[in-house]
């Protein structure tokens, strides 16, 4: 299988998986609110979910490098996710729903360093930015279909979350089927990179990660600490009466479409201009609360679409940069450490935005803007160090 065919096949896996878990994430805020959650609880749970999805990679990343069982770990993580989501619609009590939200994210933590390492081998041949961007764009096709499916089911059932999330079990089964087929076709994706640079995939798995990697992780963690979760955005839209619950997944789907477009654009720009293109991420992150937390539908919708643009950069170009900074022998570990730093920032950011939303929206906007200015300073330091 050619490198590009491998990227597209892995993109199909992600498309189906996003069909499942992005369909659920689109309604996490309203679902938890319907079970009695406050804005703070929604912020903490969604932030904790992202922290779990990222922080636990500190374990799964080194484990993947140590065992070299990249395929097995990837499949196990996807399995946990596709089992957790349908159950989320039928538990009926807040604590159990919160646990399943976090469990779904744990599945992402298990698989992501191994999955990104497998993908990074093929993108060495296709171009890091373009390869990760195409994968992310396909990923977001699923993120578009899933929320729209959930929205349609909610409309048909009068807001019943059970069947709306239960239907997501079908693409979940397909995820595992395609993964097993792909593993049989390409048991050793590292061969793609070995053909280009044999020494890159035989590097020792011990030793320190590069200094530039740590500076880069600090930049990403800083900007993430000031990034609003969609759970809080959806909570605002529904509680202020700006959108009916059934329309929230439609807006989320639109944000995912923006995500795909921006991922492709910044992936191309990254291969051409390098990591300097990442400067746009703090600017977008600062704009999200300023636009979204208003009482005007148009402005709130615009803020949600800007949120999607920021996520497009986070999910594609940020991952491509890690692959360029770290040798293959330590790459899963690097993805785990990177995600751990960002996970801690996600937890802090979710709690911070949830608490400040309740306290004062103008203060929330100002604090987020200050955090993003600091992130730009760290990114500037990375460029100076690279020189």
Each residue's pLDDT tens digit, 207-264: 678 888 888 888 988 998 888 888 788 888 888 878 777 788 788 878 888 888 888 8
328 close to 203: Cβ distance less than 8 angstroms:
yes
Q: Report which of 350, 259, 255 is spatially closest to residue 300, judged by C-alpha positions.
A: 255
- Helices (DSSP H) in the chain: which residue ranges? 3-25, 28-34, 39-55, 57-67, 70-88, 94-126, 128-157, 161-166, 169-185, 190-196, 211-225, 230-239, 248-273, 280-292, 297-315, 317-325, 331-359, 361-386
* pLDDT for the residue numbered 22: 83
**Alpha helix (H) ranges present in 293-330?**
297-315, 317-325
Find the length of the chain: 387
pLDDT number for residue 371: 92
Residue 246 is classified by DSSP as: G
pLDDT at 281: 92
- DSSP tag of 296: -
pLDDT at position 255: 87
pLDDT in tens, 327-380: 878 888 888 888 788 778 877 887 888 888 888 889 989 999 999 999 988 888
The pLDDT of residue 372 is 92
Give residue 178's pLDDT: 93
Residue 385 is predicted with a pLDDT of 56
Q: What is the pLDDT of residue 7?
A: 93
Burial class (CB in 10 A: 0-12, 13-18, 19+), 204: exposed
Q: Would you give per-residue pLDDT tens digits along the chain (387 residues)?
A: 889 999 999 999 999 998 998 888 878 878 888 888 887 788 788 778 877 777 788 899 889 988 989 999 999 999 999 988 888 888 878 888 888 888 898 998 899 899 999 999 999 888 888 898 898 888 878 878 888 888 888 888 888 888 888 899 899 999 999 999 999 999 999 888 887 765 554 445 556 788 888 888 889 889 988 888 887 888 888 888 787 777 887 888 788 888 888 888 888 888 888 778 888 899 999 999 899 888 888 898 899 899 999 988 888 888 888 888 888 788 888 888 887 887 788 778 878 888 888 888 899 899 999 999 999 888 887 765 554
pTM: 0.74
């Amino acid at each position: 299988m050619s490198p590009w065919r491998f990227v597209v096949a892995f993109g199909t896996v992600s498309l189906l998986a996003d069909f499942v878990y992005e369909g659920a994430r689109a309604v996490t805020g309203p679902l938890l609110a319907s079970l009695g959650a406050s804005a703070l609880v929604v912020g903490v749970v969604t932030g904790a979910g992202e922290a779990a999805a990222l922080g636990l990679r500190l374990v799964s990343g080194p484990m993947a490098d140590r065992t070299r069982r990249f395929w097995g770990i990837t499949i196990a993580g996807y399995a946990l996710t596709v089992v957790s989501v349908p159950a989320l619609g039928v538990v009926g009590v807040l604590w159990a729903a919160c646990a399943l939200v976090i469990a779904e994210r744990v599945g992402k933590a298990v698989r992501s360093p191994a999955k990104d390492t497998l993908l990074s081998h093929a993108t060495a041949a296709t171009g890091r930015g373009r390869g990760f961007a195409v994968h992310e764009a396909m990923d977001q096709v699923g993120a578009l279909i899933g929320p729209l499916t959930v929205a349609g089911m909610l409309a048909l059932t009068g807001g019943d979350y059970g069947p709306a999330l239960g239907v997501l079990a079908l693409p979940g089964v397909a995820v595992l089927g395609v993964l097993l087929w792909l593993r049989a076709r390409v048991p050793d994706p590292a061969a793609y990179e070995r053909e280009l640079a044999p020494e890159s995939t035989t590097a020792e798995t011990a030793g320190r990660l590069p200094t530039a990697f740590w500076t880069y992780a600090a930049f990403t963690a800083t900007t993430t600490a000031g990034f609003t979760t969609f759970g809080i955005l959806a909570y605002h839209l529904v509680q202020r009466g700006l959108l009916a619950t059934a329309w929230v997944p439609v807006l989320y789907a639109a944000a995912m479409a923006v995500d795909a477009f921006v991922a492709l654009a910044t992936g191309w720009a990254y291969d051409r201009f390098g990591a300097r293109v990442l400067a746009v991420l703090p600017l977008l992150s600062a704009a999200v609360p300023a636009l979204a937390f208003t009482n005007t539908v148009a402005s709130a919708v615009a803020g949600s679409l800007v949120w999607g643009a920021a996520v497009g950069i986070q999910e594609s170009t940020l991952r491509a940069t890690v692959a360029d900074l770290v040798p293959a022998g330590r790459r899963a570990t690097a993805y785990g450490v990177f995600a751990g730093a960002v996970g801690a920032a996600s937890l802090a950011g979710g709690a911070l935005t949830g608490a400040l939303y309740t306290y004062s929206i103008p203060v929330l906007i100002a604090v987020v803007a200050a955090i993003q200015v600091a992130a730009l300073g760290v990114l500037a330091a990375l460029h100076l160090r690279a020189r």
